A and B are shown apart, each in its own frame.
Chain A
Amino acid sequence: MRPLWFLLQKEFRQIFRDKGFIGRLFIAPAIQLILLPMAANFTIKNINIAIVDHDHSTVSQELADKIKSSGYFKLTGYTDFNSKADKLIENDKADIVLEIPDGFAQDLIKEGSKKVAIEVNAINGVKASVGFGYLSGIMTDYNNQIRMEMVEPTPLPAQPDIEVVPSFWYNPTLTYYIFMVPAILVSLVTGIAGLSAAFNIVKEKEIGTIEQINVTPIKKWQFILGKLLPFVVMGAVVFSFGLLIAFVGYGIAPIGNLITMYTFLLVFLFAILGFGLLISTYTETQQQANSLMFLFMMVFNMMSGLYTPIDSMPQWAKIITHLFPVSYFIDVMRMVVIKGSGFADIRFHILYVFIIGLVLNTWAILNYRKTT
């Protein structure tokens, strides 16, 4: 055991000497957790709208005002020529064009209904669908309003009306950062722990120090543990610091138990450090490890449910995400932080990630033996 102790001493000495690493340890979480949730917000504002008004009535004016005052839209064109509005879409000046037909107000009152046309620029899919959603909402709202005003009130409703009153559990206001911050924290821990561990081991190969270590009586398991344990500590430090930022910056206090979270963190670190170790056995230089890790981090970030829900992915993609420890951790974090899940709820998550960790570590150690 004593050599392990000396190895750990050496590792920590090297880690603390690397000013850049300590900086990354605290600056990266700060930047990612403060900037990202604010910038990457699905509550889309400033949707550019152009209105083609063939009617020029008080009703159409009123509708336009209602859209403007909703706060989501920015009126970038108000015209009565379709061609002008189309130009605005082509020039990227308008995301949505609302066309109010001639005789809109009259027909609405006389016939009780009138069709309007909505054209959406779908280059940015998210903006298009969200904008369309908002606009439809406003239209429905306005529809009800004029029905109240213009149509003679009848003692009984003319037709049965279904009113939907949504209630969003666990996140009543659908606040974006409440479910983004815990997930970004996972991405951070993955980056700091997994990446750095892989780089650290490959660095010993690249500089040649591993040769010098290999001719000493240090055993392989001591060397590996000596490399991985510091990053368990670093991972926990980043995680705790991130939780602190989430609390101070966003007022997110985990509803669930901290012990549950840290237990899962340990299992997760076991798996992700195994992954880092595996990468390091397949690469010879930090450059190679970097490009390989970049590829995996990219896939982890895109496919682990960080930005897009796993449930909406095709079947083959779902199967792949089940192989990533990252997707389990993101799930667990959201469950524990937002919903307050306990051990019983995440027991299968723990089991799966532990199995993944076991496979990755065994694979890495077998491969490590083979190459030296």
Chain B
Amino acid sequence: MDFIDSPTEAAFRTEIKDWLNENLKGDFAELGGRGGPADEHGWDIRIEWEKLLGKDRWLGLTWPVEYGGRNASFSEQIIFSEEYALANAPARVSFFGEGLFAPTLLAYGTDEQKRRFLPKIQSVEELWCQGYSEPDAGSDLANVKTKGALDGDQWVVNGQKVWTTLAHRAQWCFCITRTDPDSQGHQGLSYLLIPMDQPGVEVRPLVQMTGTAEFNEVFFADARTDATNVLGAVGDGWKVAMATLGFERGTAFLSQQLAFARELEEIIALAQANEVAADPVIRQELADSYVGVQIMKYNGLRMLTSLVKSGVLGPEASIGKLYWSNWHRTLGERAMRVMGSAATLIEPTKGDGPSIGQESGPRAYDLNELQRIFMFSRSETIYAGSSEIQRNIIGERVLGLPREPK
């Protein structure tokens, strides 16, 4: 065990620290690290910032050098995340492209596909969204019905996706599609890459309980994509889709831990400012949240070490999603208690005007940061495999318990 930087790691830390010092100024610094990979707070500024990161290859950190990356080690990824969070730099907008699609592309794509898509992710010219869930395929994801059929040198796609995060911002969608019409379940699926900007794709925002609309419905009506835009073999889409979920459930959340720690700091500061920090129950809750967020880091570091050593994710990886989503949900509830009566009001200073999805309204339903955590975290125990699905996975694949009879 060793948590102290080696000389190479220390040099890398200095490099990112200096870069952030030099570049994190003006609007970028003012925006700070608020928001998350699935929300739109300060979007335009974040896009500009992301481009800056891409230009200097901080986006694509882990990619091989030949594809424009830095081939960073896990330690370097951790250092980057730590320094990034420490500097309170803007929340990343490339989560679906850099965090989910790119690792899948690197694992299953052809050289040609990698050269086509990776540079545009890095230059932030192309953002991605994830076409997985459908009205009848939520937890039972293998029940997808969106159809893909070859018509000459193009795929023609018909069907509907739902809960598609930031689809309205994305240029491309990686999409689980049933390409064998006679198949069912895990068989006969393909992982298609579909351009969003075309007549056959319609994106309709879903207004959430937060009053905002990061999630969408996506309708495909004779949408088209080139026949070459399939990742992995035709009919082998389930395997590729699961690999993406592995990234989502495995390593991609690590940088979140630092953002969470910052949120907790803000809640503690508020508790001290409004004097509820003297309340013994609140103290217990804040200390418990601190314990939880620290262990989130330790779990992540253990997981990464075992990944580096053995090449296989240990049981720590499968608990990650279940762990952080529950921790964050509890934090949101505690934040409301710390706010006290103020939690029951929407701040009037945050601007007037109708809420999203409403033609008119008395006032914008504009949540403050803590209210946003409280509400948005309800989605986190549902998306990317609900907590119940995570427990099934842990029970069956890690502990070897028998499956439910069918």
Say whether A and B bind each other.
no
What is B's interface to A at a CB cutoff of 8 Å? none
What is A's interface to B at a CB cutoff of 8 Å? none
